[in-house]
């Protein structure tokens, strides 16, 4: 241990397929990237899983945690009743600098509360937000906030825009990400008071490339790279997106099954179908970054398999190496100086 | 004229393809259904289109209107500056009983303002709402409101639920439509104050089958028959739905073009592809009813072609024949009596 560039703390007991798929995903990541991993969770169980799977990578360590936060638990339990859960132990390790980033497929609410109160926000950031990459024409679009903050103020949305823009620039390599405000029409007078005031604030900021209001359809059609929303609206976009995607993918699947002609067509299009599936698959993008926290926290999907966990670890490594958080900190400092 | 059961007033100059596709759609409807049609718009132009198209159906009449409302016009112009537009003339004909229902593919805003102020709301209804049928697993789901009322109160949402439920019962033939409240989670404490208070009000009403909160994904996945939302959230659902649909339909199309294998697969699946396209095609459902108005007003999509116009006329006929509005009126009266 100690020779790799980056050390990632992983909640080994978060998500539907924990701990097996989490451990397997971490082993894949350790084999592929220059990374050390600390698995948080019950030590005996983790040792047994590692041994059963024949994993003996010296770059995978264990930090014991006696508890697990379930989806039924009140997220606030991370602070007291479940302070020795795999999620809490992991976030405290991150907070004290024992690792560079934290990955969990567990409860989003607990991850948010833990990140905000144990790891703490970036100085000057009012609210942490959950960001998700959605498949879109021409490349993924980052939706921020997807549900962390149901009620927002214009300044929160401005900060989401700034953080989302930095993420797309440094992680996805876009030179000048187009930032749109999710609204019910293009005109600047559209929306509720929150949207009207946020438009005003965002159009005055020089910290990102604000292109104005975007509608729900503009996101999949690739008309912006960052879609900024309050957590309520963002959650509606995210869930509708997921639902329509599932519905239509099933319709596509039904085209090819149940008939000999369908089976032949599926064989003919095997390569194209697999490429399409990969292009539209969330897990390819890794997890959802919690932006606004002073250290990288990545929320992987609850149903993550080993591949999705590996991708989430890769994403955490990128956020560390690309210095996304220090860049956001600098930008905030510059904004505050220019205001004075 | 005068022998058909139902008379539909149509805005012949509303929408991207007016007047040609509107006139053609009305001719198709008159040929297929027991219906009279009054086309509103410039008389000379309409006579020329009818003659050019070889249409001489005695059940198609003309009501002259010298103006047209464009998408750039302020919707309020229907009341004064454009009081002689095809939309205004049509709505006044409806208001005075010269027709049983009104169909327009023109400006949604002007249709709403005209319907509310010229045709007037049902007594006791606080706000008219725009409802749209969305394709979903197991049959379409009615989303109400899709954007007419950006800011709502709980009582509005309760009334949207009542009207949407009646529409799905009488027009789509569902025995007991499942009504869901669009929210960011299933628990009754979820959402902003509007959602929390609306949940409370809706769960106490016995006028429809309230199944609780639904998330965006539940709509395409067929978990409710009526999805109730404030106009802002509803618009986000609708536009995201449309956008993801367009994006994925293009992905599907790309599977089949550009290669000999793709072309063969398309031939093999010709029947299935055409059935799927039809199942997912909005225009098959007709238009969006403006619910809460004292007479039926149907808003067809701005890009409606002749087929979509024909379907919107068919839908208007059904709303008249199924006595949707008198049923809503009775239900409201019963609710008020039970409150006293």
Give the separation between CA B106 and CA B12, rounded to whole angstroms. Answer: 9
Per 3-state DSSP, what percentage of chain A is helix, strand, and coil (rounded to 5)? 50, 15, 35
By the 8 A CB rule, do A116 and A130 touch?
no
Residue of A169, A161, A170 lying closest to A143 (CA atoms): A161
Q: For residue A1, what pLDDT band results from cuts at 50, 70 and 90?
A: very low
Strand partners, A35: A6
- Return all residues near A53 (Cβ < 8 A) that are at least 6 apart: A20, A23, A24, A27
Q: What confidence score (pLDDT) does residue B276 get?
A: 85
Residue of B182, B214, B247 to mutate, interface with A, max A Cβ within 10 Å? B247
Q: How deeply is A123 buried, as exposed, middle or buried, from its count of CB atoms within 10 A (0-12, 13-18, 19+)?
A: exposed
How far apart CA A300 and CA A286 sit, in angstroms, is: 7
Inter-chain residue contact B245 with A240, CB threshold 8 Å: no
Tell me how far apart the alpha carbons of residues B176 and B209 are, in angstroms, rounded to a whole number: 7
3-state secondary structure of A109: helix
Fold of A131-282: Isopropylmalate Dehydrogenase (3.40.718)
A 10 A CB-CB count for B136 gives 23
Q: Is residue A86 a contact partner of residue A56, using CB atoms and an 8 Å limit?
A: no
Q: What's the whole-number average pLDDT of chain A?
A: 93
Q: Where are the domains of chain B?
A: 6-125+292-327, 129-282
pLDDT tens-digit map of A43-82: 999 999 999 999 999 999 999 999 999 988 999 999 999 9
pTM for the predicted model, two decimal places: 0.91
Q: Give the C-alpha separation, B171 to A89, whole Å.
A: 57
List Cα–Cα distances, A155 to A129, A185, A195, A230, A258, in angstroms: 13, 21, 11, 11, 53
* Per-position DSSP letters for B96-140, written without gaps between them: TTSSSEEEE-S-HHHHHHHIIIII-BPTT-S--EEEEEE--TTS-
B200–A contact, CB cutoff 8 A: no
Strands B178-182 and B141-144, how do they pair? unpaired
Contact B276 A268 (CB under 8 A): no
User: H helices of chain A, where?
Assistant: 20-32, 43-52, 86-95, 108-114, 154-170, 193-204, 231-256, 260-268, 270-280, 306-321, 324-339
Interface test with B, best of A190, A228, A244 (most B CBs within 10 A): A244
- Cross-chain Cβ contact A137/B247 below 8 Å: yes
- In chain B, whose CA is at the least distance from the CA of A276? B251
DSSP state of B75: G
What CATH architecture is A6-125+292-327? 3-Layer(aba) Sandwich (3.40)
* Interchain proximity A216–B237, CB inside 8 Å: yes
CATH T-level topology, domain B129-282? Isopropylmalate Dehydrogenase (3.40.718)
pLDDT (tens digit, 0 to 9) for every residue of chain B, 340 residues total? 445 689 999 999 999 999 999 999 999 999 999 999 999 999 999 999 999 999 999 999 999 999 999 988 999 999 999 999 999 999 999 999 999 999 999 999 999 999 999 999 999 999 999 999 999 999 999 999 999 999 999 999 999 999 999 999 999 999 999 999 999 999 999 999 999 999 999 999 999 999 999 999 999 999 999 999 999 999 999 999 999 999 988 888 888 887 889 999 999 999 888 888 887 776 677 789 999 999 999 999 998 999 999 999 999 999 999 999 999 999 988 888 777 6
Query: What dihedral do alpha carbons A17, A20, A25, A27 form, nearest 10°?
Result: 170
Asked if A238 has any chain B CB less than 8 Å from its own CB, the reply is yes
Listed residue (B159, B169, B76) closest to B122, CA to CA = B159
pLDDT tens track for A234-267: 999 999 999 999 998 888 888 888 788 999 999 9
Distance CA A299, CA B159 (A): 39
C-beta atoms surrounding B191 within 10 Å: 23
pLDDT band at A340 (very low <50, low <70, confident <90, very high): low
Q: From chain B, pick out residues whose CB is under 8 angstroms from the CB of A219.
A: 240, 243
SS3 label, residue B64: strand
Q: Quick check: do A6-125+292-327 and A131-282 share a fold?
A: yes
The pLDDT score that the predictor gives to residue B3 is: 58
Pairwise CA distance, residues A197 & B338, whole Å: 43
Residue A27: pLDDT over 90: yes
Give the nearest partner residue to B217 out of A219, A233, A239, using CB atoms: A239
The answer to whether B219 contacts chain A (CB < 8 Å) is yes
- Per-residue pLDDT, averaged over A164-177, amounts to 95
Count of A–B CB contacts within 8 Å? Answer: 174
Q: Residues A69-126: pLDDT tens digits?
A: 998 899 999 999 999 999 999 999 999 999 999 999 999 999 999 999 999 999 999 9
d(CA B21, nearest CA chain A) in Å: 26
- The length of chain B is 340
Q: Strand B129-134 to strand B288-291: parallel, antiparallel, or no bridges (unpaired)?
A: antiparallel
Residues A185-193, mean pLDDT to the nearest whole number: 92
Quote the pLDDT of residue B111.
96
Three-class SS of B183-248 = CCCCCCCCCCHHHHHHHHHHHHCCCCEEEEEECHHHCCCCCCCEEECCHHHHHHHHHHHHHHHHHH
Instruction: Kindly list the strands in the beta sheet with A226-228, ordered across the sheet, starting from the edge strand earlier in the chain.
Output: A60-64, A35-41, A6-11, A101-104, A297-299, A288-291, A129-134, A141-144, A226-228, A178-182, A209-214
φ, ψ at A31 (rounded to 5°): -70, -30
Of B135, B217, B240, the CB nearest to A217: B240
Give CA–CA dist A87/A110, Å, rounded: 8
Q: How confident is the model at residue A193 (pLDDT cuts 50, 70, 90)?
A: very high
Supply angle C-alpha A89, A94, A100, rounded to 5. 140
- Judged by DSSP in three states, A293 sits in strand
Q: Above 50 in pLDDT, residue A2?
A: no
Residue of A nearest to B232 (CA): A184
- Residues of chain B with C-beta less than 8 angstroms from the C-beta of A137: 247, 250
């Amino acid at each position: 241990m100690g020779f790799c560039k980056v050390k990632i703390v992983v909640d080994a007991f978060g998500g539907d397929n924990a701990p097996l798929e989490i451990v397997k995903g971490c082993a894949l990541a350790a084999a592929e990237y220059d990374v050390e991993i600390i698995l948080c969770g019950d030590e005996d169980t983790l040792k047994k899983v590692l041994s059963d799977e024949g994993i003996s990578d010296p770059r995978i360590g264990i930090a014991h945690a006696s508890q697990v936060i379930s989806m039924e638990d009140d997220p606030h339990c991370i602070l007291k009743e479940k302070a020795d859960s795999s999620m809490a132990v992991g976030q405290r390790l991150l907070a004290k600098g024992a690792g560079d980033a934290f990955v969990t497929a567990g409860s989003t609410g607990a991850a948010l509360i833990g990140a905000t109160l144990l790891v703490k926000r970036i100085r000057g950031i009012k609210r942490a937000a959950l960001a998700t990459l959605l498949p879109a024409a021409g490349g993924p679009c980052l939706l921020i906030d997807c549900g962390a903050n149901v009620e927002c103020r214009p300044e929160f949305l401005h900060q989401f825009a700034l953080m989302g823009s930095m993420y797309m620039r440094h992680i996805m390599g876009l030179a000048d990400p187009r930032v749109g405000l999710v609204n019910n029409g293009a005109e600047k007078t559209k929306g509720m008071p929150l949207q009207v005031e946020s438009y005003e604030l965002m159009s005055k900021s020089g910290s990102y490339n604000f292109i104005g209001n975007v509608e729900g359809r503009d996101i999949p059609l690739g008309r912006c790279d960052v879609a900024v929303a309050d957590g309520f609206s963002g959650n509606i976009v995210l869930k509708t997106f997921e639902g329509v995607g599932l519905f239509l993918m099933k319709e596509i699947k039904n085209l090819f099954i149940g008939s000999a002609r369908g089976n032949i067509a599926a064989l003919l299009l095997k390569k194209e179908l697999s490429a399409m599936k990969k292009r539209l698959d969330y897990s390819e993008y890794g997890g959802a970054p919690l932006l606004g926290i002073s250290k990288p926290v990545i929320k992987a999907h609850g149903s993550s398999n080993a591949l999705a966990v590996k991708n989430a670890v890769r994403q955490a490594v990128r956020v560390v190496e690309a210095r996304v958080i220090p860049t956001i900190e600098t930008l905030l400092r510059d904004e505050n100086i220019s205001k004075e």
